[in-house]
Amino acid sequence: MTLNQLSYFRVVARLENFRAAAEELYISQPSLSRSIDSLEKELGVLLFDRSGRGIVLTKSGRLFLEYVERILEECDIAVYKMKELSTSGGRIDIGYVFPLANHYIPHKVRTFLDMPGNEHITFGFTQNRTSSIISDIKKGLVDVGFCAYVDSVEDLEFVPILKQEMVIITDRDHPLTSMDKVSIRELGNYPVIGYDRMSGLGGYTNRLYRNMGLKPDIVCECPDENAIQALVSEKFGIALVARVDVLNDKDISIHSVSDADLVHYVNMVWLRNHYQMPAVKKFIDFMREDSDIDREHI
């Protein structure tokens, strides 16, 4: 059974005339008759009653026509969707770390969708830690990720798109509160709230501590700045965090680091040498151009 046979059957069923159907389909009447005969033999039923002067659908033919209409309609939809994907439409699945969920990703995606020509593009959103985002990209579940850089992943392309200053946060009654800038060495003098060590920033801060010879008393590890900030505000400790928009200086004090220039980069990442829909390519180009990072001096 082929799609051509189903299409031929539908036309014959509509016109109830082999000659007229053959003319509409631009094939010979004998070829059309052979195609319908072959379909009936494969199905094991008669689709048309040919006993009179014309032809009419049998009971089996009427039932089969219902299914044929659904099949051909789904095929038409599939073709339309594929054409849409090849031009200006389609769905882009993105994954991003939790700190980007409050403003950065929603704002960037909304700006992209409001641009002319992008009205038929849709997005799927997934929040996760860096390791999970990388895994989803490699499995093909995510088109583009926004996360920390990961070493030794040869099949992935990383492009820095967001620069985050690292700051020290304290509660409002802390002895360091009055200081605009605080030495990173102070992390060794108080309990510290850290990032989950499996997260991108967790790996970054732990490497930083090792490289600087610091051994902070990490009393708790948290997945994101919201959780860290909540514990700091309740005087469980201080923290070294990325300066993201969720930090609320009404509940905490935010201090620049006085003796080190500490920055963390969020990267856009995707599979290298892998087919991408035009919409995905367009979004990647938009994010590159919309970033204000000078990549030559990273």
Residue 131, domain CATH = 3.40.190.290
Could you tell me if 143 and 252 lie in one domain? yes
Say yes or no to pLDDT of 218 above 90: yes
> Residues 34-62, buried b or exposed e (16+ Cβ, 10 A)?
ebbeebbeeeeeebbeeeeeebebbeebe
pLDDT at position 250: 84
How much is the pLDDT for 267?
Answer: 94
Q: Give the pLDDT band (50/70/90) at residue 297.
A: low
pTM passes above 0.95? no
Q: 270 and 160, same structural domain?
A: yes
Residue 188 makes CB contacts below 8 A (sequence gap 6+) with 214, 215, 216, 217
**CA dist., res. 291 & res. 78, Å (int):** 36
* Confidence category of residue 21, pLDDT binned at 50, 70, 90: confident
Percentage above 70 pLDDT, the chain:
96
C-alpha pair distances (Å), 81 with each of 74, 140, 258 = 10, 19, 55
Q: Alpha helices, DSSP H only, in 212-277?
A: 225-233
Q: What angle do CA 26, 31, 34 make, to 5 degrees?
A: 140
pLDDT at 223: 86
The last residue of one of the domains, among 85, 102, 118, is 85
User: Do 37 and 101 belong together in one domain?
Assistant: no
If one counts the domains in the chain, the total is 2
Mean pLDDT, to the nearest integer, of 12-37? 89
* Cα separation, 154 vs 257, whole angstroms: 34
* 81 plus 12 within the same structural domain: yes
Same domain assignment for residues 101 and 41? no
Same domain, 35 and 112: no
d(CA 4, CA 1): 8
Distance separating alpha carbons of residues 124 and 95, to the nearest angstrom: 8
Question: What is the helix (H) or strand (E) element at residue 162, kind and residue range?
Answer: strand 156-171
* In a shared domain, residues 56 and 115: no
**Based on the domain organization, do 60 and 108 belong to the same domain?**
no
Two structure tokens written together for 91: 């769905």
Q: Which two tokens stand for residue 200?
A: 């991108």
Instruction: Choose one of 66, 85, 104: the last residue of a domain.
Output: 85
Cα gap 197→22, rounded to integer Å: 70
Average pLDDT over residues 135-160: 89
Q: In this structure, are 20 and 166 located in the same domain?
A: no
Q: Do 72 and 103 belong together in one domain?
A: no
The verdict on 123 and 172 lying in the same domain is yes
Pair (200, 99) in one structural domain: yes
Range of the domain at 231: 92-298
What is the SS3 assignment for 175?
coil
Report how far residue 185's alpha carbon sits from residue 191's, in angstroms, rounded to the nearest whole number: 12
Question: Does the structure show a pLDDT above 90 at 276?
Answer: no
Q: Which of 49, 70, 85 is the last residue of a domain?
A: 85
Residues 6+ apart with CB under 8 A from 269: 133, 134, 137, 144, 145, 146, 147, 156, 157, 158, 159
Query: Residue 59 maps to which CATH number?
Result: 1.10.10.10
Question: Residue 277 corresponds to which tokens in the numbers above?
Answer: 């829909």
Nearest one of 55, 61, 80 to 6, comparing CA atoms: 61
